[in-house]
Structures are given as C-alpha cells and as structure tokens.
Amino acid sequence: MLAMKLGWLKWHYVLVYGTLGSLMPYLPVYCRQMGLSPSQIGLVSGVFGVAVLISPPLYTALADRWANNRRLIGLCYAVAAVAVAALAARGTFPAIFAAHLLFSLGFTAMIPMLDGLTFSVLHAPADEGDPAGAVAQKPPYQSIRIFGSVGWMIPGFLLAALVAFHVADLTVSYTAMGLCVACCVLGLATVFALPQRRATKEKASALPTVEALRVFARPPVAAYMTALCALFIASSIYFMFYPLYLDQLGIDTALIGLITNLGVLVELPFMIASAWMIRRFGFKGVMIFGALCVQVRLILMAAWPTPLVAIGTQIFHGPTVVALYLLPPMFINDQADERYRSSIQGLKAVLVFGIARIVGSVWGGRLGETSLGAAFAAASVLAGVAVLVLLFVFRDAKASSPPHRSAG
C-alpha cells in the first residue's frame, strides 16, 4: 500500500517537473522568436510570480480545508494544458502574456500541493496491510523529489534529438509546448491514483494560511526566508536570461534543453547525497554552500561571456538546486503540523516564487536592456547579500521530529 502511494507520487513529480522542463527553457527563446524585447520577456516571465500570489495560497488552503489535493491538482493540470495550447496559437506580446498568466495560475499551485501531499504521506501512520515497521522505513523526501529532476531532463533529451533532423528553431519551440501539453494530459489522466490526504482530527483555529503566516514571523524562519527571497530574485534573473545568453553566444536552440540537462545531471548526485551533506556540514552549511554557488555562477557569466564558461557553470547547478528547491520545503515542513501542511508550502511559494520572481523579472528585464552581463552582475551582488544573512543572521531551527532531515 505504501509502496503504491510513493510510486504514484514519484510519477507525478516526473510529470509536474516535465511540464516545467518542457516550457521554461524554451519560453524566453520563443518570445524572442516572436519579436519581444528583453523588457517584454521580463514581463512575461514576471507574470509567473503574479500568479504565485494568487494560486498557491488559494489552492493549498482549500487542500488543507478539504484534505483533498487530488481534484485540485487535476484542475491545475487541465488549466495548464489549455494555456500552453493557447500560447502556441498566437505569437503577439498580449497573447503570450495572457497565455503564460493562465498557465501560471494553473501550474504554480501544483508543486506546493504535491509537496504537501508527499509530506502528509511521509508523516502518516501505517495503513492496514502495510508490513510491520513501514513507518520507520519510509524514505526521505529527497528520494521522492529526485524524480522531479528526472522529469525535467526528459524533454531536453527528446528535443536535443531534433538537432539530427536540422529542424527550424521555431519548430523546436512548438515541439517543446507539445511535450508540455502531453505531460499535463498524462497527469490529468492519472491524478486520482494519487494517495488521498488523511483528515486531521484537530480542527484549525483559524484559516490554514493564517496559521502558516504566524510560523513565518518566528525569527529563525524570517531570517531564512529573507535570504531565500534574495537568492530567488538573483536566480530568477539567471533562469530568465540563461537561454537567451546561450542563444547570443551562437548555441543551437535545440541544444538549450540538453545544456540545462547537464546541470540536472550534476544535480542528481547532490540530491542523493543531500541527507549525508546535512549530517556532515549541517543544514546551514549546505545552504551557505548553495548560495555561494549561485553567486559564483553569476559572477563568471557576467565577467567571461563565452560558450565554455556558459556551459561550464552548470557544474554549480547541483548545490544551487539543493539550496533553492530541495531544502526549503523540508525546512518549512519542519515548522508545520497536519492542519496547515499544504498551506505553509503555499505561503513559501508566494514569497519565493511570487514576490521574488516578480522583482527579479522586472528588475532583470530593465537591466537586460543594457546587457545580459549587467543583469548577471547585479544578481550576483544580491546573492552575496543572501550569503551574509545566512552566515550571520540565520540560526537553524530544527523541528522536534524531522524524519526527512535525518533520514539517510
């Protein structure tokens, strides 16, 4: 029973991150192909952050209220599929902006809801029919989340194969959007295979999101989120302009996904070793190392804009992803209980995927009008601020019972 639940969770991590990996590396290039300026590309990218201010808190609060993530995740898949089909239909700035807004309103709630459901399963008591000791043998979160990294890679490898057929760059973009829709359709078709949330006996005294907000006011959590927001502003500039940076350096559009996959290949061993890294260097030490990698990558790309440096900096991707995408949901979950386990993930998404994404996209878009190097240089300064906050202000506040932190 437990093995089946975990299997379907892994499958949906593949699909959710496959959806993202099909679209995000190619969206800036598609925008450029349609004649959009760097400022317009920044606005299109920034609308993702606007959607995060709306969808995750709404959907995750409903998920906690109803103890039902599955139908809401299915709705998100459906909205995202329709939006990407619309994105491919019209190539004007208003149409692209509106379609990406619709996609973002559907997609942005999926990851926090899937994370909340995963943590709920990992914290749940054993079901009838599970072998003795099943609770003690539950895997750590990172062993499930790693399937998201696999999902991200698959579209890049498939699209890289188009190079052999010498297809046009615009065809690559349309194929990427087709893969995105396919992931959404597969997710919608299998969404009811996901495990159901267990209902909590204790009723929340307030809206789940309000209770989650109180957690973020605690000093250790506030310091951590300050550093994380700074890192996400810096990283949003990197992720928005990295495909254009490769394109400016003369790298084939169809190879962009393959190059990003090099970073994901570096990411996998770091994901696998993350539990050991936390035991050996501490949660704070791993976060600082990841933040330094964000800063160094940006500095190198700003100072030496060559294909070798652009591709070589993917070596920093593993620690970056661990610090930005793996450790935050684990840390935030350590502060939660079952009444607001999804809501607290949604609130985290508002701050780092929402507000930080908007600031990074708009600010980066303006800097990008001057040069991509200037945008990367400014982002590196902000990443340095995050390093200082983590080093001198943040104190790691561990939950009393964090099985996913200590699991090996």
Q: Convert the pLDDT of each residue in 348-359 to its tens digit.
A: 777 777 787 788
Q: Is the pLDDT confidence value at 206 over 50? A: no
In 19-30, which positions are buried (b, 16+ CB within 10 angstroms) versus exposed (e)?
bbbbbbbbbbbb
What does the buried/exposed string (b/e) look like for 161-188 if buried means 16 or more CB atoms within 10 Å of the residue's CB? ebeeeebebeebbebbbebbbbbbebbb
Total of domains in the chain: 1
Task: Tell me whether residue 31 is in a domain.
Answer: yes
Query: Taking the CB of residue 294, how many other CB atoms lie within 10 A of it?
Result: 28
Cβ contact 39:254 at 8 Å: no
Predicted confidence at residue 71, as pLDDT, reads 85
98 pLDDT tier (thresholds 50, 70, 90): very high
Give the pLDDT mean for 353-370: 79
Per DSSP, the chain holds a count of helices (H) and strands (E) of 20, 0
Q: Which residues contact 193 (CB under 8 A, 6 or more apart)?
A: 8, 11
Domain annotation covers residue 9:
yes
CB 180 within 8 A of CB 22: yes
pLDDT for position 399: 36
pLDDT, residue 82, reads 95
Mean pLDDT calculated for residue range 359-379: 84
Asked if pLDDT for residue 344 goes beyond 80, the answer is no
Cα atoms found within 13 Å of the Cα of residue 341, Cβ hemisphere only = 24
- d(C-alpha 29, C-alpha 173), whole Å: 8
For residues 364-391, average pLDDT: 89
Q: What is the pLDDT of residue 33?
A: 86
Which of 293, 313, 289 is CA-nearest to residue 301?
313
Q: Which of 136-140, 150-154, 356-360 has the highest mean pLDDT?
A: 150-154
More confident residue, 253 or 231: 231
pLDDT band at residue 183 under the 50/70/90 scheme = very high
Q: Does residue 369 fall inside a structural domain?
A: yes
Q: Is 79 helix (H, G, I), strand (E, B) or coil?
A: helix
Q: Decide if 240 is inside a domain.
A: yes
What's the start-to-end Cα distance of the chain, in Å? 22
With respect to residue 201, please indicate whether it lies within any of the assigned structural domains: no
Q: Structure tokens of 256?
A: 């962009």
Predicted TM-score (pTM) of the model is 0.74
CATH number at residue 126: 1.20.1250.20
- Structural domain boundaries, residue 27: 2-196+207-406
Amino acid identity of residue 52, one-letter, is V
Distance (Å, whole) CA 224 – CA 342: 19
Residue 163 has pLDDT above 70, yes or no: no
Mean pLDDT of the chain: 82
Residue 227 pLDDT grade (very low, low, confident, very high; cuts 50, 70, 90): very high
260-288 confidence digits (pLDDT tens): 878 888 888 898 898 899 999 999 999 99
Specify if 202 maps to a domain: no
pLDDT at 401 > cutoff 50: no
Among residues 172, 19, 30, the alpha carbon closest in space to that of 108 is found at 19
Range in 62-71, 85-94, 219-228, 298-307 the model is least confident about: 62-71
pLDDT > 70: percent of the chain: 85
What's the pLDDT score for residue 199? 54
- The answer to the question of residue 24 being in a domain is yes
Residue 219 belongs to a domain: yes
**Contact present, 234 and 383 (Cβ < 8 Å):** yes
